[in-house]
Amino acid sequence: MDPDSQLVVAAAIVDSLEQPTRLLCAARAYPEELKGMFELPGGKVKTQEGPEDALIREIREELNTGIMLGAEIPGPTNGAWPILHGRHMRVWAAQASENPQLTAVHSRLVVCAPKDLNTLPWLPTNWPIVEAIADAFGWSVGEKCETVEVTK
Residue 100 lies inside a defined structural domain of this protein: yes
2 pLDDT more than 50: yes
Number of structural domains found in the chain: 1
Residue 132's domain spans which residues?
3-137
- Return the CATH number at 44: 3.90.79.10
Q: pLDDT value at position 6?
A: 86
Residue 76 lies inside a defined structural domain of this protein: yes
Tell me the residue ranges of DSSP E strands in 35-79: 38-39, 42-44, 67-73
The length of the chain is 152
pLDDT in tens, 69-121: 999 999 999 999 999 889 999 999 999 999 999 999 999 999 999 999 999 99
User: Strand pairing of 81-82 and 106-112?
Assistant: unpaired
Residue 93 lies inside a defined structural domain of this protein: yes
Residue 145 lies inside a defined structural domain of this protein: no
What is the chain's percent helix, strand, coil content, to nearest 5?
Answer: 25, 30, 45
Q: What predicted TM-score, i.e. pTM, was given to this entire model?
A: 0.90
41 CB-near residues (< 8 Å, 6+ apart): 10, 11, 13, 24, 26, 58, 59, 62, 63, 100, 105, 106
Residue 64 lies inside a defined structural domain of this protein: yes
Q: pLDDT value at position 1?
A: 47
Residue 80 lies inside a defined structural domain of this protein: yes
Residue 144 lies inside a defined structural domain of this protein: no
